[in-house]
Amino acid sequence: MSIQNKRQISNIILMVRPSDFAFNEQTAADNEFQNVITDRNVRAEALAEFDGAVALLRAEGVQVLIVEKDPASSSMPDAVFPNNWFGTDEQGNVHVFPMKTENRRAETSQLSQAISLIKNQGLEVSQIQDWTQKLGNGAVMEGTGSLILDRVNKIVYAAVSERTQKAATLKFARETGYDAVLFQTQSSKGAPYYHTNVVMSIGEKMALVCLDCIPDPMEREWVRSSLDETHHVVAISREQLEKGFCGNLLQVQDGKGNPVTVLSSTAFSMLTESQKNELKMFGKLLAIPIPTIEAVGGGSIRCMMAEIFCPAKG
């Protein structure tokens, strides 16, 4: 199953309202960015931040499809991050990815609603590619959190971790026709980063990456040279990654087809003026304030957006 995309970015994204938002004890074991906050109503704050993000994206002409909570479903504290279990491609395939924790695996119960939203846009869904079945029991590969896809050049970048297993990623690459660039990362605390998309992002013509957190010189050079061949590379520091979520951004298309680089207000404030000017060469910067979602959920704005690449029905 070779998956060839003609475009890297989309003007349609899927988001999930954080109706159950809370500190997730199950994922905190390997996500050092999560924090417990007890003196505020974090769910109410997360819902307000979500609504604000949707409004800002729609103001740019980005089409936002919203999955709503099914009252009968189990609690899903991290449902606001759908890109970890859900993805699409230009062949109309919907990909469902295997999650590490039980309460995140429950998020796949939202699949039918997501597919209905896509079809209601006049888009085609051809097949469901269930990677939980394809990879077998015990496999973990958390979508575009784990897999940074250069969709046009067919290269997948992946930082190996408990949520991004090497064997699973290599099998995904083989079956989808991607070349794989796998590497190890190390945080300032000495642990691997839980997801690749906190380390790097790939847009149409630019890529942003923290090379400082790749300890092996050969792997670091492999990542840098591979990105250099296809994109203008913007480098961020480990401090910018860890304190600002500066690696967790996503390029989308606005209503006129122009690229917009979406990042959190935290990330925007941590970037230098030089880095901002460099990024602006490749599209408008859209800064979205989501401080509570970042602090409690341990993820940022890119994790909140699952791109829709499904083609229009013929």
* CB 86 within 8 Å of CB 35: no
Which residue matches tokens 């575009």? 144
CATH class of 12-307: alpha beta
Evaluate whether 161 touches 193 at the Cβ level (below 8 Å).
Answer: yes
Sequence spans of domains, the chain: 12-307
User: What's the predicted TM-score (pTM) here?
Assistant: 0.94
Closest CA to 165 of 136, 186, 189: 136
Looking at residue 72, what is its pLDDT?
Answer: 81
Q: Does residue 1 carry a pLDDT above 60?
A: no
- The residues near 292 (Cβ < 8 Å, ≥ 6 apart) are 37, 40, 42, 45, 46, 49
Is the pLDDT reported for residue 4 higher than 60? no
pLDDT category, 24, cuts 50, 70, 90? low
Alpha helices in 94-201 (DSSP H): 102-105, 111-120, 131-135, 143-146, 166-176
Say yes or no to pLDDT of 126 above 90.
yes
**Alpha carbon separation from 166 to 182, 269, 290 (Å, rounded):** 8, 34, 31
